[in-house]
Structure 1
Amino acid sequence: MVAEEQALQREARKGMTDEEAEFSVEASLDNQVYLWSDKYRPRKPRYFNRVHTGFEWNKYNQTHYDMDNPPPKIVQGYKFNIFYPDLIDKSTTPEYFLTSCPDNRDFAILRFHAGPPYEDIAFKIVNREWEYSYKRGFRCQFHNNIFQLWFHFKRYRYRR
């Protein structure tokens, strides 16, 4: 199992740039009771997620920072890859739900639901508006038992 885990990590890190980092901040969900738990043993799916960070070169940062002294990095997007190899009903696509955090409005809870035998899994992410265009890198697909949700945040340009 250890060699399999290492092979999975190597494959998942392939193509990772300096602007990306591994992301695994899980949010706790309430104890859930599944109707199918007597038939199948509930388990969490495997996942490999990335967070895309970078600099925002707005007017303020251009005036006060330069490449030798860069501004603080901000989160620009996420890539979620969740593996569902043993999904019972392969005709239903896994889905995601986005809810804001009750204690902090700057964060949101992104919950993934697939069905038996997998439990729901949730992650705490930055609460900003998403860019849904394919050209900007949005991807939401379930292919080869892997659910991929990739998105970047909208960038707002200040114009007078």
Structure 2
Amino acid sequence: MKAMGEMEEGDAVFGSNAEVVNFDSEWRDKYRPRKPKYVNRVHTSYEWNKYNQTHYDHENPPPKVVQGYKFNIFYPDLLDKATAPTCFIEKDGTRGDETCIIRFHAGPSYEDIAFRIVNKEWDRSRKNGFKHTFDGGILHLYFNFKRHRYRR
């Protein structure tokens, strides 16, 4: 009160300590580190290579194989909306070279989120379903794995 000076005509007390504490707790609740919501899909199908064609048929199909993934991760309350979330591929120490870890990092107010995926080469062409965009607070990452065709 000393720093602000004496109250003059037309001045009124604005707020109280209780409101400041309430605002502080609302801010903490909204921007505390939390995991983002997500909807993910795994694309699996049959791989009809030469071996499977000779040993299996449509009545007795081969085992399904992972063909790709679709990740939709929701970041509605990002502090810095100008920078898009990023993803990193890390080695998976527990399973060797079969799988790897994909980690999504968005920055303040969200914790990192990670998933274990199959470790194969990605097909990055749009024609084959690759999509990596961040719009409307949603990160879309869709990719399929490269298919290596057998040729003589």
Fold conserved between structures, TM > 0.5: yes
Which of 39, 42, 66 does residue 51 from structure 1 map onto? 42
The question of 1:103 aligning with 2:103 is answered no
- Which of the residues 127, 130, 134 maps onto 1:142? 134
Q: Detail structure 1 runs of 4+ shifted over 2 Å in the superposition.
A: none
Map of 1:129 onto structure 2: 121
Match of 2:75 among 84, 94, 97: 84
* SS of alignment partner, residue 56 of structure 1: coil
Shift of 1:148: 0.5
Tell me the amino acid that sits aligned with residue 68 of structure 1: E
Q: Per-residue deviation at 1:116?
A: 1.2
- Greater radius of gyration (CA): 2
Q: What's the Cα RMSD here?
A: 1.3
Q: 2: CA distance between counterparts of 1:85 and 1:40?
A: 11
Q: Deviations over 1:24-50 (max 9, x none)?
A: xxxxxxxxxxxxx9x941100000000
Query: Percent of pairs identical after alignment?
Result: 65
Deviation of the 1:103 alpha carbon? 2.3
SS of alignment partner, residue 159 of structure 1: coil
| Whole-angstrom CA distance in 2 between matches of 1:55 and 1:110 | 24
Write out aligned runs for 1:21-100 (5 A): 40-100=31-91
Aligned equivalents of 1:50, 1:74: Cα separation in 2: 14
Structure 2: distance between partners of 1:87 and 1:118: 8
Cα distance in 1 for residues equivalent to 2:94 and 2:76? 35
SS of structure 1 residue aligned to 2:103: strand
Counterpart amino acid of 1:103? T
Amino acid at match of 1:72: P
Q: Distance in 2 between matches of 1:125 and 1:56?
A: 18
Matched AA of 1:42: P
TM-score normalised by the chain length of structure 2: 0.79
